[in-house]
Amino acid sequence: MSDFDITAMLLEADKFADDNKYIEAAEIYSKITNIDNNCTSAWYGLGISKAKLGDIDYSIRSFEQAHRINPDYGLTNANLAFLLEKKDPERSVNFAKMAIQTIGENVELLRIANLMENMEISLFNDSHRYSEEEEEEIVSLPAKTVEEDTIEQEIVQEEVDFVNSKTARSSRANKMTEKGDHAAAVNEWKELLKKDSSDINSWNGLADALSKAGYIERANQCLQRVEELREMNKDKKIIDQNKEMENLISAAKEVKEKINLIEENNSRDVNEAIEWYNKGLVLMAENNPKESLNCFDKAIDGAPEEEIELRVRAHNGKGHALYQLEKFAESIQEYHSAIVLEPASVTGRTLYNMGSSYASIELYADAVKCFEQAKNRGLGKEDQRLCQTQISRCKLLIKEQKKLS
């Protein structure tokens, strides 16, 4: 069973005790001790309930078990001091002295500690169910007791300076509760809530500490606040999810708009590049290679990167224009650029033209390589014979170069 289930059982038992239904309360406290034998609050509540029902021996055994788990819990020691006053005066004195160390110098405890005459058993309980006179004495003296008015006022405070981290303070508050120092735990949780009034963990911790300190109604209010915060978080999660969906839709819309814009720009760029390429071809047909260079350059610069075929054609066109202008080295660079863009689709015509440029600058060996590759790149029979003629011519020229060297 989880700690939350045990806490719920404790709240139920405390509610029965508040309504003076001690039989029902004792039954639940007993069940809790069977589940968790080290639950101080359950043993303490069982001690109170059994004492109210007149079963003093059972009450003493319950308080003794609570004392073994947490020897420093003042209210347990106080009740043992009162219950053992007649049965075991020596132990009663010891428990009274221990209680004074944590609760303070209460008149009844001082009487027992100083071996004063016995008085009627007076039970302390952690929800302050005793006479107004006793309550005034006990609550006003000890530094670690919890005043209900103070709790109600300080829970709603929202601002406070923090020295320690949230994690450290939460851990410290939990340890205080485990040791039975519920008043200090309550104060610690309140300080945390002043820093973050929407922290569910702190409200749960405060509820647990208040319940064990006897403030059942306040504990229930804290648990109600927990449920409210959880509902708010659910609503916030839904809002955040809706907002996230809106953001995704908005982002998708922006992406689509950008894609459309890119496609529109690309389409416009492609069309313009094609126009410049065609204009260059017209100028070449009109035997105006010089003017065509500007057109081919604009086609190359304007064509999108993915329009590889268009860029290859534009580089080849520029290469032809440069060849016509007898700028053979520059034409070779343009043919090379076309080949690099798409090596697998290089045509025999491009290789033939490139070979012709090499031959024109007397790089006959490179020219032969181009002509030989051109023959297998889709040329017709006539063009293939032309390639072979060029190869034979270049080889003869290579021999002549060797003779001269």
Residues 183-200 pLDDT 10s: 778 878 887 887 788 888
Task: Over range 312-332, report the average pLDDT.
Answer: 91
Residue 376 main-chain phi, psi, to 5 deg: -100, 20
For residues 277 and 338, what is the distance between their CA atoms, to the nearest angstrom?
14
What's the confidence (pLDDT) of residue 235? 53
For residues 347 and 339, what is the distance between their CA atoms, to the nearest angstrom?
9
Report CA-CA distances (Å) from 99 to 50, 113, 382, 386. Answer: 21, 10, 119, 119
Return the percentage of the chain with pLDDT > 90, whole number.
Answer: 24
Domain boundaries, position 287: 259-404
Residues 6+ apart with CB under 8 A from 132: none
* 269 part of a folded domain: yes
* 168 part of a folded domain: no
* 341 part of a folded domain: yes
What is the average pLDDT score of the chain? 77
For residues 115 and 84, what is the distance between their CA atoms, to the nearest angstrom?
13
Q: How many domains does the chain have?
A: 1
Task: Check whether 134 has a pLDDT greater than 50.
Answer: no
Task: Check whether 46 has a pLDDT greater than 90.
Answer: yes
* 207 part of a folded domain: no
Task: Check whether 348 has a pLDDT greater than 80.
Answer: yes
pLDDT tens column, 257-274 = 655 555 555 556 778 888
* 358 part of a folded domain: yes
The predicted model scores a pTM of 0.37
Nearest CA to 124 out of 57, 77, 58 is that of 77
Task: Check whether 308 has a pLDDT greater than 90.
Answer: no
Least confident range from 29-38, 134-143, 201-210: namely 134-143
Task: Check whether 127 has a pLDDT greater than 50.
Answer: no
Helix axes of 148-155 and 182-195: crossing angle, nearest 10 degrees: 20
For residues 27 and 2, what is the distance between their CA atoms, to the nearest angstrom?
19
| CATH code, 388 | 1.25.40.10
Least confident range from 121-130, 263-272, 313-322: namely 121-130
Question: What token pair was written down for 263?
Answer: 């496609």
Task: Check whether 148 has a pLDDT greater than 60.
Answer: no
pLDDT tens column, 79-123 = 998 898 888 888 988 998 888 887 776 777 888 887 544 433 344
What's the confidence (pLDDT) of residue 166? 63
Better-scored residue on pLDDT, 246 or 106: 106
* 171 part of a folded domain: no
Least confident range from 91-100, 145-154, 167-176, 235-244: namely 145-154
